[in-house]
Structure 1
């Protein structure tokens, strides 16, 4: 059977008259009758009870009509679905992100995109920048929110654009401020106090650019980072600060992560900045990805 036969059956079922159904379908009655009989043979059961004066649906035909109408409704919707897929208003978007983005660009970006394109299914996955880049190069996912390599160099197959650059602040145990172990000057923490404190940081293998930015701050100010603990999750790092194991240098957006016993303090002097941006494959600009990038770059210019 095909969609044409289903439409013919529905027309007869709705009119209960082969002549009127044929007129609705812009065809003559004999081929319509032959088509319905062929359909009944294929189904192995009669769809209509026919007399010289009337046509009626069989119980089987009445039950099948419900399913036929559902199928025809789906078929009728296909052109609109195709248009929405073509225009990026429906479909799927697979987006990965570094943990720091969860406190800065990610919530606003996903919220805005989802409100504009609610029919798009968004799949989010947290991963380090290096894992995201490797996955994109292997054809997995559509885009990633990453901390770019310190060199700024990415594989030629990938495109990248900065979304945010924010200064680092110190996450410190509140008690260390109160007892004077970390004295503040005009509300800021001097580099000399920072470089003497024990440090909690991402492992370099997981976030080399971020790791080097922090340890470079210590080197620039005449110290060597005394790393007492490493952690992969930003929440874990802040929890370890709360446990008074050390201090951490984190993006300023981490102020959004409140934790008892932790204070976020501005750094005095020249302060390093952490860049966060979006990366995607140059040859795989799907309609949904194109829409996502448009949302991401609002206020920054076009894609």
Structure 2
């Protein structure tokens, strides 16, 4: 049988005697008689193999060991008193940790408002945020390395049975183009035929197949076959390449919030093409913190 260390009650007795410097006053404070308290302190000293108090007929003083132990004991007892409230907070999803990954487009639209709302409601939850493409997020999620992710669908068929998905935001695509190539203000719609000779900067299809296909559909609907000039996996990089005059890009409307010198964002004059972003998590693996986060996502999605 293991040798268990002294329990909290013994340390509580020690702290009372140490603070009162008197067994009688400490016993009264603890609502007990003095003999059991004296016995408990003796028992604690035997277990530790050291004397904690120097006793005389008129006074009780801490030994050097007792003096050194007291600050740590007081911290221990304070932490123990907080445990019931902490347990309740954990059960309600009010404290803990949430590991969330997100695609780069979320950073310019839904993510800031989502984090603000969650932070206001659950300030004690520690968020661990990671930017990653949808395919990386799904692999990390299945492996148990993150709790949830904001992705561009679809889910890979092999993981549909393992993951839950909640649509959150659908937004139209706009054209990001070099300001030098734009002949009108950025609120004036543009037809893709007007920029058919400019290279297209785009996500690799393997990383965001639905997004990639939506962009290709935009072009095919107007009878244009785009020339893909560059591929990039981050929206910031795509917009930077547009700013550098490397081509044009179809991006979610929320990217208008990413202001970059030399870039204008113009709505499309044809069609109503949208890109969707949603939350994904493991089925049957929903802790209290994640459940609280999902509830906020549902509320924002229905607003």
TM score, norm. by length of structure 1: 0.91
Matching residue of 2:3? none
Equivalent residues of 2:168, 2:297 under 8 A apart: yes
Matching residue of 1:258? 259
Distance 1:54 1:27, change over 3 A: same
Distance in structure 2 (CA, Å) of the matches to 1:129 and 1:186: 30
1:4 matched to 2:27: no
Matching residue of 1:205? 206
1:67 is paired with a residue whose SS is: helix
Distance in structure 2 (CA, Å) of the matches to 1:122 and 1:150: 24
Task: Choose 23-32 or 117-126, whichever is displaced more.
Answer: 23-32
1:79 matched to 2:80: no
Matching residue of 2:97? 92
Task: Choose 107-116 or 25-34, whichever is displaced more.
Answer: 25-34
Distance in structure 1 (CA, Å) of the matches to 2:185 and 2:30: 84
Matching residue of 2:38? 33
Deviation string 1:142-184 (CA, Å, 9 cap, x unpaired) is 1100111189996122111111110000001111124xxxx78
Residue 124 of structure 1: CA displacement?
Answer: 0.5
Equivalent residues of 1:150, 1:209 under 8 A apart: no
Distance in structure 2 (CA, Å) of the matches to 1:245 and 1:9: 74
Matching residue of 1:215? 216
Residue 244 of structure 1: CA displacement?
Answer: 1.1
Distance in structure 1 (CA, Å) of the matches to 2:15 and 2:146: 43
Matching residue of 1:224? 225
2:261 is paired with a residue whose SS is: coil
2:204 is paired with a residue whose SS is: coil
Deviation string 1:235-258 (CA, Å, 9 cap, x unpaired) is 111111111111100000000011
Distance in structure 2 (CA, Å) of the matches to 1:101 and 1:107: 8
Task: Choose 152-161 or 11-20, whichever is displaced more.
Answer: 152-161
Q: How does 1:71-220 map to 2 (within 5 A)?
A: 71-149=76-154, 155-178=160-183, 187-220=188-221
Task: Choose 203-212 or 48-57, whichever is displaced more.
Answer: 48-57
Structure 1 stretches of 5 or more lacking a match? none
Equivalent residues of 2:186, 2:264 under 8 A apart: no
Equivalent residues of 1:195, 1:221 under 8 A apart: no
Residue 228 of structure 1: CA displacement?
Answer: 0.7
TM score, norm. by length of structure 2: 0.91
Structure 2 stretches of 5 or more lacking a match? 1-5
Matching residue of 1:62? 67
Residue 284 of structure 1: CA displacement?
Answer: 1.2
